[in-house]
A and B are shown apart, each in its own frame.
Chain A
């Protein structure tokens, strides 16, 4: 499965927008700063290409806009997109614990009520799954606030698709730039 072309085009467009904004600041940047700028622009572009329809994109943009340095870039890139009327502050993401507190309560109750009924094997599996779910929550931006497993999987799905598109476009650009450099030298 390949990332859809329109998604990549959107990402490229926004990424270049972000990069241009960086250049407008017109200050000399170290290597690491440049790398950070490029990566940030890419991430924000990818998130805004989703137009605020996914949780991870909103969380990523909210996180990026927290930093005053990056806020300008974020605003510049995101203002082009339609769905972000205003960037939701991180606090409001708490409202996105949508996927279900009820399930979480149930899980907690079940856990306390019947710890001994499960066989050892299944409890081990459960622990493994739980541990890995925690890791995934750490990986996917905004995942910590998701309680429902199916929501988490959905967000992960979307995030993986976007990451693939992002990597693909960046690879192309990097190869082009590399070719250009080798030709120049």
Chain B
């Protein structure tokens, strides 16, 4: 009954939890009681450590159920965010994280889900997010309240972490993208669009999804029978995935809820998820390929991508031809380059002009250590050569006359970008810390 809701809300609000329940839900919950008891115990163990002030556990059945749900949710959140060892082990972070969840937003008993409390990470995540990104996402999502059951229509997206014990309506297995993708790539290519971006602007509700599929299925079925007025939300896990979540959770399936007013059969839901995934990746590609900001159509984007890939491949061909032409033979190429290295003394004089930070230097040095141990004299020398030529272009304070050198250096500069300068400086610092190498390049190039 709706009557019960204000009471519950009041109770839960007082305790920092938000819940909404109906009689129907109660019956559903009662059916789930046996299953929830385990969660309750688990929750109690943790709650006692962290939420001494919460009296939720002494609350009536509904509250207990809701606590169970919260626990599940919190544990799910924890799993996603902290990569816990297991569901049943105590997680020290649980308190802080769920505290964030529980204490937030309970204005008028209405779950605030503007930013969406969405565990919106694909479980079997395609791309592994660095922890920083995840942390950022959690911050984004902190403005979320917890709600046991959704009554108001919402379109917030959720990816609920399942216990893996029950089958879900949807099962998606996804490949994982390379985990070696660097931080830079991650920050650019894989934004956490899940919660913030994918949230519908009209989202208002926060649905705290139980990790129990049975409950979901039952309630969803019940709601489905009520038609679209029921609180169904479509969650499409379009975000690129959290390695921690995927590492923890065995199942790679996704809890999906249909959007309000949309078809709820599994096929269309799957279709919608697939489409959203594709569109998200197309957005990434749009950022990657230059000049694609204005193109909106899929075929136009594909066309640009084709052109870009073809041009890159042609560039590789051209550059390899250029290198082959510049040097009489492949090995001689390297050896000659190496034979003429910038002497460390000459470099040292230029280093002060670089303004390279010591951290970068040590970092590059450490990275190149394996190169050294491999006996890759050539590699380091090659690097040094690159460095030498590049640094010449980079150090205007140096008194290099405006000769033809300068013209070619300018080409370098034009090609260079701010971070490239970092790369070059890394090389230079690295070289400085390596063995001294004689080089006549300095003699050739520098007008001493």
Q: Is B319 an interface residue (CB 8 A)?
A: yes
Contact with B along A89-124 (1 / 0, CB 8 A): 000000000110001000000000000000000000
**Which residues of chain B (251-290) have a CB below 8 Å from chain A?**
274, 277-278, 281-282, 284-285, 287-289
**Which residues of chain B (312-360) have a CB below 8 Å from chain A?**
312-313, 315-317, 319-327, 329-337, 340
The reply to whether A38 and B281 form a contact with Cβ atoms under 8 Å apart is no
**Cα of A2 to Cα of B424 in the assembled complex, Å:** 14
A26 to chain B: closest residue by CB:
B331
Given contacts A53-B177, A177-B333, contact A31 B274 (CB under 8 A): no
**Which residues of chain A (1-18) have a CB below 8 Å from chain B?**
1-2, 4-9, 12-13, 16-17
Q: Is B217 an interface residue (CB 8 A)?
A: no
Q: Is A156 an interface residue (CB 8 A)?
A: yes
The reply to whether A177 and B310 form a contact with Cβ atoms under 8 Å apart is no
Q: Is B408 an interface residue (CB 8 A)?
A: yes
Contact with A along B377-393 (1 / 0, CB 8 A): 01100110110111010
Contact with A along B240-254 (1 / 0, CB 8 A): 000000000000000
Provide the residues of chain B in CB contact with A29, threshold 8 Å: 329-330
Provide the residues of chain A in CB contact with B392, threshold 8 Å: 179
Q: Is B203 an interface residue (CB 8 A)?
A: no
Could you tell me the distance in whole angstroms from the C-beta of B170 to the nearest C-beta in chain A?
13
A18 to chain B: closest residue by CB:
B330
The reply to whether B323 and A177 form a contact with Cβ atoms under 8 Å apart is yes
The reply to whether B320 and A35 form a contact with Cβ atoms under 8 Å apart is yes
Q: How large is the interface on A (under 10, 10 to 19, 20 to 34, 35 or more residues)?
A: 35 or more
Task: Identify whether the interface residues of B are mostly helix, strand, loop, or mixed.
Answer: helix
Given contacts A5-B426, A13-B379, A23-B329, contact A167 B334 (CB under 8 A): no
Q: Is A132 an interface residue (CB 8 A)?
A: yes
Between B183, B303, B310, B322, the greatest number of chain A beta carbons within 10 A of the residue's beta carbon is seen for B322
Q: Is A151 an interface residue (CB 8 A)?
A: yes
**Which residues of chain B (32-62) have a CB below 8 Å from chain A?**
none
Between B315, B405, B445, the greatest number of chain A beta carbons within 10 A of the residue's beta carbon is seen for B315
Provide the residues of chain B in CB contact with A17, threshold 8 Å: 376, 379
The reply to whether A174 and B322 form a contact with Cβ atoms under 8 Å apart is yes
Provide the residues of chain B in CB contact with A158, threshold 8 Å: 177-178, 181
The reply to whether A6 and B329 form a contact with Cβ atoms under 8 Å apart is no
Provide the residues of chain A in CB contact with B445, threshold 8 Å: 179, 183
Could you tell me the distance in whole angstroms from the C-beta of A93 to the nearest C-beta in chain B?
14
Candidates B185, B287, B329, B411; contact of A175 at CB < 8 Å: B411
**Cα of A133 to Cα of B379 in the assembled complex, Å:** 39
**Cα of A140 to Cα of B313 in the assembled complex, Å:** 10
The reply to whether B324 and A38 form a contact with Cβ atoms under 8 Å apart is yes
Contact with B along A163-184 (1 / 0, CB 8 A): 1101110111111111111111
Q: Is B1 an interface residue (CB 8 A)?
A: no
The reply to whether A133 and B320 form a contact with Cβ atoms under 8 Å apart is no
Q: Is A37 an interface residue (CB 8 A)?
A: yes
The reply to whether B326 and A37 form a contact with Cβ atoms under 8 Å apart is no
**Cα of A103 to Cα of B312 in the assembled complex, Å:** 31
Q: Is B441 an interface residue (CB 8 A)?
A: yes
Which of B5-13, B159-167, B413-421 is the contact stretch?
A: B413-421
B287 to chain A: closest residue by CB:
A1
The reply to whether B288 and A172 form a contact with Cβ atoms under 8 Å apart is no
Given contacts A19-B333, A38-B324, contact A7 B389 (CB under 8 A): no
Q: Is B398 an interface residue (CB 8 A)?
A: no
The reply to whether A34 and B324 form a contact with Cβ atoms under 8 Å apart is yes
Given contacts A51-B180, A182-B404, contact A157 B288 (CB under 8 A): yes
**Cα of A5 to Cα of B376 in the assembled complex, Å:** 19
Given contacts A16-B376, A50-B178, A176-B385, contact A133 B331 (CB under 8 A): no
Provide the residues of chain A in CB contact with B26, threshold 8 Å: none
Given contacts A8-B423, A173-B382, contact A129 B299 (CB under 8 A): yes
Q: Is B412 an interface residue (CB 8 A)?
A: yes
Contact with A along B425-448 (1 / 0, CB 8 A): 010000000000000010011000
Could you tell me the distance in whole angstroms from the C-beta of B183 to the nearest C-beta in chain A?
7
Provide the residues of chain A in CB contact with B179, threshold 8 Å: 53
The reply to whether A183 and B312 form a contact with Cβ atoms under 8 Å apart is no
Q: Is B182 an interface residue (CB 8 A)?
A: yes
**Cα of A149 to Cα of B279 in the assembled complex, Å:** 10
Given contacts A4-B183, A153-B285, contact A20 B334 (CB under 8 A): yes
**10 new A-B contacts at CB < 8 Å, known A151-B175, A160-B288:** A2-B419, A22-B330, A135-B306, A156-B305, A160-B305, A161-B189, A163-B312, A176-B337, A177-B326, A183-B441
Which residues of A does B touch, CB under 8 Å? 1-2, 4-9, 12-13, 16-17, 19-20, 22-24, 26, 28-29, 31-32, 34-39, 42-43, 50-51, 53-54, 98-99, 103, 125, 128-129, 132-133, 135-136, 139-140, 149-151, 153-154, 156-161, 163-164, 166-168, 170-184
Which residues of B does A touch, CB under 8 Å? 126, 175-185, 188-189, 274, 277-278, 281-282, 284-285, 287-289, 297-299, 302-303, 305-306, 308-310, 312-313, 315-317, 319-327, 329-337, 340, 367-368, 371, 376, 378-379, 382-383, 385-386, 388-390, 392, 404-405, 408, 411-412, 415, 417, 419-420, 422-423, 426, 441, 444-445
